Structure 1
Amino acid sequence: MFPEIHLLGASDGAADTGSYFDAVAEPLTGPLVRALGAVAVDAGVWLLPGSIAERGEDGRVYNTALVFDPDGRLVSSYRKVFPWRPHEPWASGAGFTAFDVPGVGRMGVNICYDSWFPEATRQIAWLGAEVVFNIVKTTSDDRAQELVLARANAITNQIYYLSVNAAGPLGRGQSIYVGPEGEVLAQAAHAEPEVTHLTIDLDQVTAVRTRGTAGVNRMWEQLHADDDPIELPAYAGQLVHQRWQPQPVDPEGRS
């Protein structure tokens, strides 16, 4: 797992970042994606190499995270839904995704500023993800707030939330890895480059949701069959009990 746009160079110095990303963008069938698949095969690992500048079928340029399996297959791609406007030139993605790691569980990805919108992580968790990888390139002073948001996203969805930020000199570092009750499992104390190894137990997601956060809070069981639909005019929709709980994980996705 690497940070956002990790492979695109120091675009911060470009006079026009939109033109910079437009020049390096390529489709998901392009040579960079093929090369990254080969890296996953050579290393024999699941690979999340940050995000790339994807040239969409519509000609627009998206900030797209990629996930490869150990056979080099592109098993998931996610276009950043909430670009950091007005500072970033990306087109906005139109939906959220999750993917299964056979024998392990279901996971999802969001990108940097997505973490500021609670709807983003909620939707990924609703898709059944027990882990959300938040890949980041934060070069501004708001990394302090993002550390709070990482814990909030984990707590409110009872998931693992792993936020990896770019190191210095451009990034502010301070990557943080949070458990399903908001506990900080590991955190980089500074912006210096470092490699972190972390072992997590996805059964803890089920355990926390069953007993409740701090032994009391079971948010995914909040809505009952006799509750009236909750109107959400901001989204032109409703919360209804039949669709509240997360989607079941594919039985082949867990050992």
Structure 2
Amino acid sequence: MKENVQISLVQFSSEMLAPERNAERMAELVLDEADRHRAELVVFPELSNTGYVQSARDDDFARRLYAASETVPGPTTERLADAARRSGAHVVAGISQRHPRIPDLLYNAAVLIDPDGEIAGVQHKVHACRDEKEYYVPGDRVATFATSLGRIGLQLCYDVRFPELARVQALDGAEIILSLWAAAVQPGHVPEGSIIARCATRAMENALFFAGCNRTGTDDGQVFFGRSAIAGPDGGTLAASGSDREESIRATLVADRLSAQRRYLTLFRDRRPELYAPITAPLSDPATTLTGTA
């Protein structure tokens, strides 16, 4: 991992089904973060090119969502690639992605673009949440991506509730995991510290940097609450937003903090994978049912 990495999380408010305008604004924000704050890694939320899905299945919305979605590479990634080349920054954004061959099939994707404007990685959301199942097919692989900043893993929102995913990425060498969110306020409840807590937990469990970038604004009556956060390898908060407004939070990721934490607690040496088979077994498999007496 690079000795110091300047990261900016942009709490972007997407305009519903307006990919051209969203791409233009995101490109401007990349240039601004790099110019004014020396950002080397600029991160946008889930589904930044199209906005989030409606809360109930609607054939007309599905048609318009597919029309607004894009291939990768495509118009939004090309616009962000130009901004990456001009700024010298890495860019990560959530994209509603068309399947390259199969019509009317969509992925909820996180795309990593390097400073040369090349697509350095694509991760599809593995765990579709609630109404997303009506529009997106889940991803079928987990990967990490080598960059000049370090090895980066990507996740999308609901994925963070499955700690196995972050562990798989850590075992593949991830030093930084970026989680792109489109998390809305639940009825009667604003989860003030939910992103901070999840980032801190995943970071501490794997002794790496973990950042959660949530969107803001409203779509179809849903209110997205922002409150993005960045956690260090010991679980400490490096930066956090207390706001549901469009803003950026920034931090310096110091490689020595990762090394020091992994020397202090030898998490990966101390694993006992021979005991973890039930995690990957089907729920109905009786051969892996936990038995014994208390």
Normalised TM-score (structure 1): 0.80
Letter in 2 for 1:80: K
Q: Give me the whole-angstrom Cα distance separating, in 2, the residues matched to 1:193 and 1:228.
A: 42
Q: Which residue of 2 aligns with 1:55?
A: 99
Q: Give me the whole-angstrom Cα distance separating, in 2, the residues matched to 1:197 and 1:86.
A: 32
1:44 to 80, 85, 88: 88
Shift of 1:127: 0.9
What are the equivalent positions in structure 2 for 1:1-255 lying under 5 Å apart?
A: 1-9=43-51, 11-12=53-54, 16=58, 17-59=61-103, 60-88=105-133, 89-102=135-148, 104-141=149-186, 143=191, 144-169=193-218, 170-212=223-265, 218-223=266-271, 229-230=274-275, 232-236=277-281
Q: Give me the whole-angstrom Cα distance separating, in 2, the residues matched to 1:147 and 1:12.
A: 26
**Percentage identity across paired residues of the two chains:** 25
What RMSD, in angstroms, separates the aligned Cα atoms of the two structures?
A: 2.4
Q: How many residues align?
A: 228
* Kept in 1: contact 2:209–2:232 (CA 8 A): yes
Q: Give me the whole-angstrom Cα distance separating, in 2, the residues matched to 1:35 and 1:100.
A: 22
Letter in 2 for 1:94: D
Q: Which residue of 2 aligns with 1:250?
A: none
Q: Deviations over 1:59-92 (max 9, x none)?
A: 4200111111111000101101011134542110
Q: Deviations over 1:155-189 (max 9, x none)?
A: 11111110010123431010011111110111101
Shift of 1:197: 2.2
Q: Deviations over 1:3-54 (max 9, x none)?
A: 1111214654897354343222222233333232222112221111333333
Q: Give me the whole-angstrom Cα distance separating, in 2, the residues matched to 1:122 and 1:19.
A: 37
Normalised TM-score (structure 2): 0.70
Letter in 2 for 1:120: L
Letter in 2 for 1:70: P
Letter in 2 for 1:131: I
Shift of 1:234: 4.3
* Kept in 2: contact 1:37–1:73 (CA 8 A): yes
Q: Comparing both chains, which one has the higher relative contact order based on Cα–Cα distances under 8 Å and sequence gaps of 6 or more? A: 2
* Kept in 2: contact 1:171–1:191 (CA 8 A): yes
